[in-house]
Amino acid sequence: MAFFSHFSALLWGGPILAACILVGGYYSLRTGFFQLFGLPVWWRSTVGALLRPRSKECDPAAVTPLQALSTALAATIGTGSIAGVAAAIFYGGPGTVFWMWISALLGMMTGCAEKLLAVRHRERGPDGQWRGGPMEYIRLGLHLPGLAKLYALFLVCETLVGGTLAQSNSIATALNAATGVSPRTVGIVLALITAVVLAGGIRRIARLSELLVPVMALLFLGCGLAVILFHWSAVPQALEQIVTYAFAPKAVAGGYAMGAALRYGVARGVFTSEAGLGVSSIAHACADVDHPARQGMWGIFEVGVSTLLICTVTALVILTSGLYQPQEALALLEQGQPIPTHLLGAPLVAASFSTLFGQAGTWVISVSLILFAFTSLVGSGFYGQRGLDTLAPHPFARLLYRLAFPLCILFGAVGDLGAVWELVDFFNALLALPNLAALLLLSPEALYLLRQWLEQQSTPRAPHIPRREKRPARSARRPASTSRKNRA
């Protein structure tokens, strides 16, 4: 286990974080920061599209763009959006929030490129459903089937570790603390429910996600905004701390060093949005859209919701409640003293909510954690199956995975998971390496398709993307709704 910890710390300590910023910054510059100046365009194509009636001619084997987004958010918004943000602030200081915003801002274009390429290089599976994601755009776009299978192998491993053990343990711990139900009972029930949902395929998962994601988001965001409004007088000071600590050249006068804020902030932004890992694009590839770039707009929206909105609410709840004091936290870290449980992770967020809601604040966090973790379980199970389809496209292999996944859920509910997050970081690092390289190598195609779609829009306000990149090869310009196997 020491090897996994050392290797993941080495990669996440600089190389991968720098690569995420590089890729996001490159796409942002090449598109003229479309995520900012093109906001009217992508907002009309996402939220605005929900208000317009859908065309009657839709793909019966596909899911709606909203269902694809809900499935992606179901797996993206997990315990890291609550406990992870609290831990990042404690170890990195209030300035962590600023660098989380920066990584999310750049990650919006990384997410856009991932979803665009996932739809662009998707293919029909034996069941008639669309299959896409990093495995496909590495295999079809870069013509590297070996690397695609390697990514799929890392994906299967990550879903069996981070997608099950950590999330099921969070659910079992929350229910045990709130109701006294034994973790074993929670694990058995959770494993059975998850197995039934996964057996229904992408359409059942998408319908469940479309129902649960808005509920859990509104519950957490509504209560969180109420806490922030209750402590409204502390908001200016919290914002001042965020900016001040983000640029502190060194730890002085009870402050955190800028390096710690940068490290934990960027890492939290990447973990919560998954922009750069490519995993959520697997769900977006199943969407029924007329152009790959249209689903890319939902990629921008996804990062905005998962990180800029939900994680920001978590951070401001902590910083305005008065329970977290940067000077006291830094003193504990410097002295090497044991960290009190009420100052770290979910307990800190629950205590912050309790400043307004009392004991009910603990229930809000418990319910939010349960919903966040359960939807992450379901989404991770779907991603693992897609990875397995690339490795071993055989019904028996899928059956084995569907048996192994619930068993991992049960083990996670009752086991000691002190080292699980080290494995999660390790496999996430392995996922990021080939995906970020593919995004850079396929950037000419992605930028061409984005510019093509913008030129098709009727509005004159659509941003202009310079024509510096070459047009993709002829084989790379086939319509998004066709593939080599299905053009006949």
**pLDDT tens digits, residue range 115-169?**
999 999 998 887 777 888 999 999 999 999 999 999 999 999 888 886 677 778 7
Instruction: Report the pLDDT value the prediction gives residue 488, as an integer from 0 to 100.
Output: 34
0.85 exceeded by pTM = no
> 484 in helix, strand or coil?
coil
User: What is the pLDDT averaged over residues 330-335?
Assistant: 73
Instruction: Report the pLDDT value the prediction gives residue 57, as an integer from 0 to 100.
Output: 56
| Domain assignment of residue 247, yes or no | yes
| Domain assignment of residue 315, yes or no | yes
**Tokens coding 330:** 């830094």
Q: Quote the domain boundaries for residue 300.
A: 64-327+340-447
CATH of the domain at 105: 1.20.1740.10
Residue 125 backbone dihedrals phi, psi, to 5 degrees? -90, 175
- pLDDT per position as a tens digit, 200-235: 776 677 777 777 778 888 888 899 999 999 999 999
| Domain assignment of residue 95, yes or no | yes
Instruction: Report the pLDDT value the prediction gives residue 4, as an integer from 0 to 100.
Output: 62
Contact 30, 113 (CB under 8 A): no
Give the whole-number percent of the chain exceeding pLDDT 70: 79
**Tokens coding 426:** 């390790």
Q: Which of 9-18, 95-104, 110-119, 236-245 has the highest mean pLDDT?
A: 110-119
Confidence of residue 337 (pLDDT cuts 50, 70, 90): low
- pLDDT per position as a tens digit, 284-296: 888 888 899 999 9
pLDDT at 476 over 50: no
Least confident of 51-60, 96-105, 237-246, 261-270: 51-60
User: What is the pLDDT averaged over residues 159-181?
Assistant: 76
pLDDT at 259 over 90: no
Of 474 and 126, more confident = 126
Instruction: Report the pLDDT value the prediction gives residue 428, as an integer from 0 to 100.
Output: 82
Beta bridge pairs of residue 287? 63
The neighbour count for residue 362, using CB atoms within 10 Å, is 20
Confidence of residue 473 (pLDDT cuts 50, 70, 90): low
Confidence of residue 483 (pLDDT cuts 50, 70, 90): very low
| Domain assignment of residue 120, yes or no | yes
| Domain assignment of residue 44, yes or no | no
Of 56 and 39, more confident = 39
Contact 482, 291 (CB under 8 A): no
Instruction: Report the pLDDT value the prediction gives residue 464, as an integer from 0 to 100.
Output: 55
- pLDDT per position as a tens digit, 239-256: 998 988 888 765 444 456
Instruction: Report the pLDDT value the prediction gives residue 485, as an integer from 0 to 100.
Output: 39
- pLDDT per position as a tens digit, 434-462: 999 999 999 999 999 999 999 887 554 55
Least confident of 17-26, 250-259, 267-276, 394-403: 250-259
Instruction: Report the pLDDT value the prediction gives residue 474, as an integer from 0 to 100.
Output: 43
For the chain, the first-to-last Cα distance in angstroms comes to 51
How far apart CA 115 and CA 293 sit, in angstroms, is: 8
| Domain assignment of residue 50, yes or no | no
Of 86 and 76, more confident = 86
| Domain assignment of residue 199, yes or no | yes
Instruction: Report the pLDDT value the prediction gives residue 79, as an integer from 0 to 100.
Output: 66
Instruction: Report the pLDDT value the prediction gives residue 58, as an integer from 0 to 100.
Output: 56
How far apart CA 421 and CA 437 sit, in angstroms, is: 25
pLDDT at 76 over 70: no
| Domain assignment of residue 415, yes or no | yes
In sequence order, what are the residues at sequence separation of 6 or more whose Cβ sits closer than 8 angstroms to the Cβ of residue 132? 118, 119, 121, 122, 123, 281, 282, 284, 285, 286
- pLDDT per position as a tens digit, 408-430: 888 888 776 555 666 777 888 88
pLDDT at 25 over 90: yes
Confidence of residue 106 (pLDDT cuts 50, 70, 90): very high
Q: Please report the DSSP string for 168-215 in residue order.
A: HHHHHHHHHHHH---HHHHHHHHHHHHHHHHHTHHHHHHHHHHHHHHH
User: What is the pLDDT averaged over residues 7-29?
Assistant: 83
How far apart CA 54 and CA 396 sit, in angstroms, is: 38
Tally of structural domains, the chain: 1
pLDDT at 479 over 50: no
